[in-house]
Chain A
């Protein structure tokens, strides 16, 4: 489903060469809920950007849903991103001047759906996150948790195979974080693969599998091993 073989990412400036990811070998199957943890600056976000086709990589091969994305041009990457991947960000990244309906509409527009289909998908997505009654509200009229639910609605409206979540609860209090997490689990149960970067070990433990990144190197741990590490640590 998502397969990386010897993938490396290097950031270069005139003076410095930074290995953000080193020879990552990873396979994430369909329907998995994977958490990604690691200290700040370890390469979590870089990993998520590569997985989300937001950045290119120098070495290795990356198969997304069976397709090798290496060498795809910008248009092809955009199409693939739009069709197969939904993004959830820590800071929600909603467009503040647009009502919820139009925010959820954004990726569907680029997908080329007609108005009727877009409307159905938007209403359905907002229904799933429990905000169908607030379609015409602006994001600023919502709480943080509600805004993140809108972002989730936007991510799932196109029914992607992957959801990539970058610290989705990082800006929320524990109650809101709990609600969002439950929502993600519900979406995962319906078959969507979720990769979630988090600093929160409690949340990480709720995933099927935890990937830890240290200094650009990936350790693929089973959940019980993670438990051991946490307890030891």
Chain B
């Protein structure tokens, strides 16, 4: 009976094909827009390094003046000063890995090769960065703690940089020039996709920076500091610390270093206790005038607080949901009209012995057919929609980001393809229930008398 009903359902789709096309088009266009926005939200809402994201915490200490506003969450709080970052690194807290990051920049160049020098964004960090964030390596590895201590002239390149500077070969042991400094390549990263670039707190969709160097090397060579300086107890303009006054910066109360701690299970309480003790000890030195306040915020909470979708996307999302609803209402109106044209046939079939559930099955199959076909075309429309949104995003970023940067956020994965099918079939079934109910309740005697 299923095969017979499927055959009837298929035949019905061919009956008045223009109506079928209209229904499928309504569903496909609505679904396409809906899934475009859902995919954007899904991709940009992904948590980076999800298996350890709850263990990795941003550490912030409140060294501000007494009159400063209370902070509700990490977004209102300052980062770490140079001295606090170094003190915490030296505390060697059991079970915790700690990394600091700050951003610098310079001109990357390879002397012997005939390539254009490249202005590059560079992360200054310590050796724990690679292990803590599970950074994938294509060649070589990160530096060790000795290199941190000594501020060795070593560099880790990203895959893109290595491709640009060395044509993609294993460049470990080669030398590159960062501004006037010569550094030895000790590692090359593999493709490292982060759903959000969290480690510099930009939470952007940009790809990782071009290179990583030891923080102490950057300090020793007074590389420019690309940071926001939250300073107090100073009457000078904090912006001067960007390129100068390093000695003064190191002892200032300017907070600007991003600090991370990986705290496996059961170590968070100990870590917090030690932070408290540290703040108390610093109070004795006349620092930390406010109450004992600090923030430990894991990656999930950070993303949750800042929100996974921007205002523009949220607005487009709302519009797409409403548009999909309108399209579904259109589709169901056509479906209802199509089904009700068939009351005489259904009445006849009921008279000839068809049970209600047989009629139900036939029409359910037809609705599922429409949902599946709508889903297929909807996926095609979603692809087009994502391509269009990619171009909008490129334009919105003033082309500071590349298509390759943004592509991961504008791509349907299998999860979203399955979701598209489920949404299409599910919603079509849902809105199709009323027409199906109406047709199933056609009385067998109602339409058989000659008109």
Contacts and interface: CB of A to CB of B under 8 A. Distances in A.
Interface of A: 45, 49, 52, 54-55, 74-75, 78-79, 81-83, 87, 89-91, 93, 95, 97, 106-107, 109-112, 154, 166-167, 170-171
A46 to B, nearest CB: 9
Nearest to B354: A110
A154 B351 CA distance: 12
Contacts, number: 69
Contacts of B450: 89-91, 167, 170-171
B11 A93 contact: no
Given A49-B445, A54-B444, A170-B450, A106 B349 contact: yes
Contacts of B445: 49, 52, 54-55
A82 B15 contact: no
A40 to B, nearest CB: 12
A112 B443 CA distance: 22
B448 interface: yes
Given A49-B445, A78-B354, A111-B353, A93 B1 contact: no
A109 B451 CA distance: 27
Given A97-B15, A109-B1, A166-B449, A74 B348 contact: no
A78 B449 contact: no
Contacts of A171: 450
B345 interface: yes
A154 B4 CA distance: 17
A109 B355 CA distance: 12
Interface centre among B353, B354, B445, B449 (most CB of A within 10 A): B353
B1 A78 contact: no
B1 A112 contact: yes
Where chain B touches its partner, the secondary structure class is loop
Given A55-B443, A93-B344, 14 more contacts: A45-B449, A75-B355, A78-B354, A79-B353, A81-B352, A87-B448, A89-B450, A93-B348, A93-B448, A95-B345, A109-B4, A110-B354, A111-B353, A171-B450
Contacts of A111: 353
Nearest to B444: A54
B54 interface: no
A148 to B, nearest CB: 12
A97 B11 contact: yes
A49 B444 CA distance: 9
Contacts of B15: 97
Nearest to A95: B345
Contacts of B357: 75
Contacts of B348: 93, 95, 106
A107 B352 CA distance: 5
Interface string B191-217: 000000000000000000000000000
Contacts of A83: 353
Contacts of A106: 348-349, 352
B177 interface: no
A78 B448 contact: no
Contacts of B358: 110
24 contacts: A54-B444, A54-B448, A55-B443, A74-B355, A78-B354, A81-B351, A81-B352, A81-B353, A81-B444, A90-B449, A91-B451, A93-B448, A95-B345, A95-B348, A106-B352, A107-B353, A110-B1, A110-B349, A110-B355, A110-B358, A154-B352, A166-B448, A166-B449, A167-B450
Contacts of A45: 449
B350 interface: yes
B228 interface: no
Interface string B323-349: 000000000000000000000110011
Contacts of B268: none
B46 interface: no
Contact of A75 (B11, B351, B356): B356
Interface in B425-451: 443-445, 448-451
A222 B430 CA distance: 57
B353 A82 contact: yes
Given A54-B445, A91-B451, A110 B356 contact: no
Nearest to B11: A97
Interface centre among B15, B345, B355, B451 (most CB of A within 10 A): B355
Nearest to B345: A95
Contacts of B444: 54, 81
Contacts of A79: 353, 355
Contacts of B350: 78
Nearest to A111: B353
A119 B95 CA distance: 79
A111 B350 CA distance: 12
Contacts of A167: 450
A49 B443 CA distance: 11
Contacts of B349: 106, 110
Interface centre among B4, B11, B443, B448 (most CB of A within 10 A): B448
A107 B353 CA distance: 6
A219 to B, nearest CB: 23
A125 B310 CA distance: 70
B345 A87 contact: no
Contact of B352 (A75, A87, A97): A87
A95 B448 CA distance: 12
Contacts of A49: 445
A196 B354 CA distance: 23
Contacts of A107: 352-353
B336 to A, nearest CB: 21
Given A45-B449, A97-B15, A109-B4, A52 B351 contact: yes
Nearest to B14: A97
Contacts of A112: 1
Nearest to A74: B356
A107 B444 CA distance: 14
A82 B355 CA distance: 10
A49 B345 CA distance: 17
Given A93-B448, A171-B450, A54 B351 contact: yes
A81 B352 CA distance: 7
B165 to A, nearest CB: 70
Nearest to B353: A82
A88 to B, nearest CB: 11
